[in-house]
Structure 1
Amino acid sequence: MPGTDSETSDAAADPDSGASGDSRERIMRATYRALCAHGYASLTMQDIADESDLSKAALHYHFDSKADLLQAFLSYLTDSFRERVTEETECEGGPFERIRTLVGLLFEPPEEDRGAEFRTAILEMKAQAPYEPPVRERLAAFDEFLRAEIADGLDEAREAGIVRADVDPDAVAEFVVTVSNGAHARQVALGRPTDCAETYLMEYLTTLRAGGER
């Protein structure tokens, strides 16, 4: 997952997190470690403080509650993924290659050796979305980002003659995001690997190319 060693009091405040840039990174990394260790349901502010060099009081200085901190953490995750998508796709040769790279990133395991625990904690957070509008809004925004990136890339590829003219970019994007979400939920709940879903999604995308099999 996407610290610095010292807190910078004069850094510009992040409007979403309520923390300066350096302290925000440290808190977000500590939140990641605490979620992996304790899960979402039993996580406390003290657990997060224990994973950082900040006190519980210092966390409350930046965030009024655990809910506020976890909402900021979701924004941190989505922002980090957006940046990763930009970095990984900006050198690709065309829109179709960018889509394949994005799909590959969706199935890339988290950094650090805590992937299973982290995916479980995130699924727990997703389960709260129907009851916590701020969580739902952040998850919906990320879902829309993925859908739009794929749909826009397919539309561009179709206009360039790379993808078949009968392909519906919006429908394909909805399908890809749905399969990805389902594969990850199944992995957490049942321990099933996502390799098959990734492989067949990539093969499915290949069939969309102009001249490809239908």
Structure 2
Amino acid sequence: MNGQPETEQRIREAAFRALVKHGYADLSIKDIGDELGQNPSLIYHYFDSKDELLLSMLDVFVDIFLGQQAEEPITDAETELRRFVGQILHPKPMQVEAVMSAPPSDIETAIARVFVELWAHATWDDDFRNKTTAVEAGLRDAIVRIIRAGVEREQFRSVDPEPTADHLLFLLKQGIHTQTTTNREDAVDRVEALVDEIIDDLSLES
């Protein structure tokens, strides 16, 4: 089918925007079709179900948060770790536009809502659980790689990169979840402060 990759991507983007508006429980293929500006039947030419579409949409998270990070050399581990943390907590429009042609205007809130919706659904659905596990593994591996590079270059103290990455990723996830699901509007700011303290403690130059 001509234009299949482009059409699939447009459908994923429409699903992303529709999920932000409606939430998982109330989201329908019709809502996604409305967001796409097409008859919902078009979606079934590419995806068998809402869940199959949303599972494929999780790959957008990987592109947004990881991109080419795993292939780029790390010369300044502290700067790269702070950049990566900021990229997760405060995704920039330009960062998102690299993989989505029409993201929501408030992309930071949108990504946080989608994160919470899909990770919550993984509580009940093994396919989603497997996919979210893979996404988190990719984020963890990226943090491990940065910390290991910092230790090897003697920019960071000699720490075990894996539990340190687990600690940082837990804080990042908790900050996003808390800010999205409670009235703690300072949750992400507080997490940033805690992460800054951890990175300062890691750095041999601080």
1:51 partner SS: helix
For 1:80 and 1:118, the matched residues in 2 are separated by 10
Higher relative contact order (CA 8 A, sep 6+): 2
Residue 86 (structure 1) aligns with = 69
Match of 1:97 in 2: 79
Query: Which residue among 197, 202, 205 is the counterpart of 2:196?
Result: 202
Residue identity in the other structure for 1:69: L
Counterpart secondary structure, 2:204: coil
Identity %: 26
Per-residue deviation, 1:114? 5.8
Tell me if structure 2 keeps the 8 A contact 1:150–1:173. Answer: yes
Q: Between Structure 1 and Structure 2, whose CA radius of gyration is higher? A: 1
Unmatched tracts of structure 1, length 5 or more: 1-8, 12-19
Match of 2:96 in 1: none
Deviation at 1:211, TM superposition (A): 5.3
How large is the RMSD of aligned CA atoms in angstroms? 2.2
The structure with more helix, counted as a fraction of residues: 2
TM, length-normalised to structure 1: 0.81
Q: What code does the residue aligned with 1:120 have?
A: R
User: For 1:125, which of 99, 115, 118 is the aligned residue?
Assistant: 118
Question: Which of residues 155, 166, 170 is equivalent to 1:162?
Answer: 155
The answer on whether the counterparts of 2:65 and 2:88 sit within 8 Å (CA) in structure 1 is no
Shift of 1:28: 1.5
Once residues 75 and 107 of structure 2 are traced to their aligned partners in structure 1, the CA distance between those partners, rounded to angstroms, is 33
Instruction: Tell me, in whole angstroms, the C-alpha distance in 2 between the residues paired with 1:158 and 1:95.
Output: 9
Distance 2:153 2:115 in 1: 38
Gaps of 5+ in 2: 94-104
Alignment length (residue pairs): 193
TM-score, normalisation: structure 2? 0.84
Ranges of 4+ aligned residues in structure 1 off by more than 6 Å: none
